[in-house]
Amino acid sequence: MADKRIFEIYRYDPDTDAKPRMQTYEVELDGSERMLLDALMKLKKQDDSISFRRSCREGVCGSDAMNINGKNGLACLTNMLTLPQKVTLRPLPGLPVVRDLIVDMSQFFKQYHSIKPYIVNETPPPEKERLQSQEDREELNGLYECILCACCSTSCPSFWWNPDKFVGPAGLLAAYRFIADSRDQVKEERLENLEDPYRLFRCHTIMNCVDVCPKGLNPTKAIGKIKEMLVKRA
């Protein structure tokens, strides 16, 4: 049951390489490597210099996002059976490369931080929990589950062009998560913060974000709701 695969991997170590290159590896899988991450770990045994992030290996920490045969995804949730014999791995597009498959995510997190990702409620809290109806809580489903892997934002052409000005799908999904929370008191300021030709309106509903989200979330829908609220406000 030999399963021989060809891996073509983007390699770049600024310490030693003048420019990036693609390196080809051959690896024989024995069936125990269910996911791409398992195969990558096996490959790293052959060449310990291949660099990538990884942690939970079950799709909840968001570390191992990469570009897999042209599409962003998590290595730990990509089943080897779904991949062809040749697998091409590149770093997430549009962000500076630190080394190999590791990108500098500062810009991505800067945008996330820019939407004030926390509940603001200045009413002194009760002794117990703030009550929230089941319907109000359900508004948060499909929003709070984001793992900040950046698959969406780095698949978005608008983010590629304006990573410093466009909040991007992940940041906007988070923005709507707080707008939609019945416990938050600063919806107006949140909308204000996004009313800008770039921050929100660079989204042209290309929907790459929806296509790649490993958690099955829908940033485009959340962005649509924010746009709707802004229109109503106007």
Partner 1 sequence: MAQTIHKYDAVVVGAGGAGMRCSLQLAKAGLRVAVLSKVFPTRSHTVAAQGGIGASLGNMDEDNWHYHFYDTVKGSDWLGDQDAIEFMCREAPKVVYELEHMGMPFDRNPDGTIYQRPFGGHSAKYGEKPVPRACAAADRTGHAMLHTLYQNNVRNKTQFFVEWMALDLIRDSEGDVVGVTALEMETGEVAIFHAKCVLLATGGAGRIFAASTNAFINTGDGLGMAARAGIPLEDMEFWQFHPTGVHNAGVLLTEGCRGEGAILRNKHGERFMERYAPKLKDLAPRDFVSRCMDQEIKEGRGCGPNGDYIALDLTHLGGETIMKRLPSVHEIGKNFANVDVIKEPIPVVPTIHYQMGGVPTNIHGQVVVPKNGTPNSIINGLYAIGEASCVSVHGANRLGTNSLLDLLVFGRAAGNHLIDTALASKSHKPLPANAADYSLSRIDVLDKSSGGEYPQDVANDLRKTMQLHAGVFRTQASMDEGVSKVLAIDERAKHLSLKDKSKIFNTARIEALEVANLMEAAKATMVSAAARKESRGAHTVDDYGDTPEHPLGRNDVEWMKHTLWYSEGNRLDYKPVNLKPLTVESIPPVKRTF
User: What count of residues does the chain have?
Assistant: 234
Site size with partner 1, rule: CB under 8 A: 56
Q: How many CA atoms within 13 Å lie on the side-chain side of 162?
A: 14
Closest approach, Cβ 93 to partner 1, in A, equals 19
Residue 73 sits in the site that holds partner 1 (CB under 8 A): no
Q: How far apart are CA 52 and CA 84, in angstroms?
A: 21
Residue 44 sits in the site that holds partner 1 (CB under 8 A): yes
Residue 15 sits in the site that holds partner 1 (CB under 8 A): yes
Closest approach, Cβ 41 to partner 1, in A, equals 8
- Given the complex with partner 1, which of 105 and 203 has the nearer CB atom? 105
Q: How far apart are CA 38 and CA 33, in angstroms?
A: 5
Q: Which of 3, 8, 145, 195 binds partner 1 (CB under 8 A)?
A: 145
Residue 96 sits in the site that holds partner 1 (CB under 8 A): no
Q: How far apart are CA 23 and CA 11, in angstroms?
A: 6
Helix (H, G, I), strand (E, B) or coil at 145: coil
Residue 85 sits in the site that holds partner 1 (CB under 8 A): no
DSSP letter at 35? B
Q: How far apart are CA 142 and CA 173, in angstroms?
A: 9
Q: How far apart are CA 110 and CA 105, in angstroms?
A: 9
- The single residue listed with the structure tokens 């069936």 is 31
The two beta strands, 21-29 and 3-11, are antiparallel
Q: How far apart are CA 76 and CA 58, in angstroms?
A: 6
Residue 1 sits in the site that holds partner 1 (CB under 8 A): no
Q: Which of 113, 185, 205, 211 binds partner 1 (CB under 8 A)?
A: 113
Residue ranges in 176-215 that form contacts with partner 1 under rule CB under 8 A: 178, 181, 183-184
| Span interacting with partner 1, options 141-149, 156-164, 186-194, 196-204, rule CB under 8 A | 141-149
- Given the complex with partner 1, which of 125 and 197 has the nearer CB atom? 125
CB atoms within 10 A of CB 151: 27
Closest approach, Cβ 87 to partner 1, in A, equals 18
Residues that bind partner 1 (CB under 8 A): 13-16, 34, 44-45, 47-49, 51-63, 77, 79, 98-99, 102, 105, 109, 113, 116-119, 121, 125, 127-134, 136-137, 140, 144-145, 147-148, 178, 181, 183-184
